[in-house]
Amino acid sequence: MKPVFVIVSVLLLPWAVGAQTAVPVTKPGVNKSANYKASSKKAVDKKKTQPKTRASRQADPLSRPQWVQPAAAVHTPLPMGVDELAIAERVHLGRLPCELGASVRLEADATQPGYFHVLGKGFHYRMHPVTTTTGAIRLEDKKAGAVWLQLANKSMLMDQSKGRRLADECAHPEQMAFAENMKTNPPPVLFDTTGMGRPND
């Protein structure tokens, strides 16, 4: 019985070896799902590296060139001339009491020589001197239509655009002293108002 079993085993041995060699061998550690994920990641990276087309740049507001609005031109006043600066030196500064309990304050503009801030209740003007033929000191704010007129005995603020006075009888201490001097020592009258100089008929 044993010799028969040995003979059968010898005959079946080549068939068993062939069956083992026919089985496909897979490499250890290889996963199909991992290969799919790797290929998908490469495709995504490729899309990211592609340059943006014109349509995509128009759709993306951040990719458009940002135009900056230019700053508004700053108006710089022209420097004062010699005559205007000479007038500016004679302007009375400080708080000047006016009639009806009002007051006007004059301050020199530290940023621009020759310019002045004229302030009061409800108004604030930035003025500069203007030459006159009468000898009076005249300051103007042409944009606002305001005029500050300084005489020997008083000053006044006028709104030429509305044709009215904003403040009158404003006086600096020097103007007050001049007004008192005029009362005690009136200037000579050029015209005879008494009739004594009238020729006889």
The secondary structure of 158-199 as a DSSP string is: EETTTTEEEEEEE--HHHHHHHHHHHHSPPPPSS--SSTTSP
d(CA 41, CA 2): 64
d(CA 97, CA 103): 4
Q: Is residue 73 part of a domain?
A: no
Q: What is the pTM of this model?
A: 0.56
Q: Is residue 102 part of a domain?
A: yes
- Look up the domain containing 142 and give its range: 82-184
Number of domains in the chain: 1
Q: Is residue 120 part of a domain?
A: yes
Q: Is residue 15 part of a domain?
A: no
- Which pLDDT tens digits describe the chain residue by residue (201 residues)? 555 555 555 566 555 555 555 445 455 554 555 555 555 555 555 555 555 555 555 555 455 545 555 454 445 566 778 999 999 999 999 999 999 999 999 999 999 999 999 999 999 999 999 999 988 999 999 999 999 999 999 999 999 988 999 999 999 999 999 999 988 888 776 555 554 444 444
User: At 116, which CATH number?
Assistant: 2.40.128.50
Q: Is residue 21 part of a domain?
A: no
Q: Is residue 22 part of a domain?
A: no
Q: Is residue 8 part of a domain?
A: no
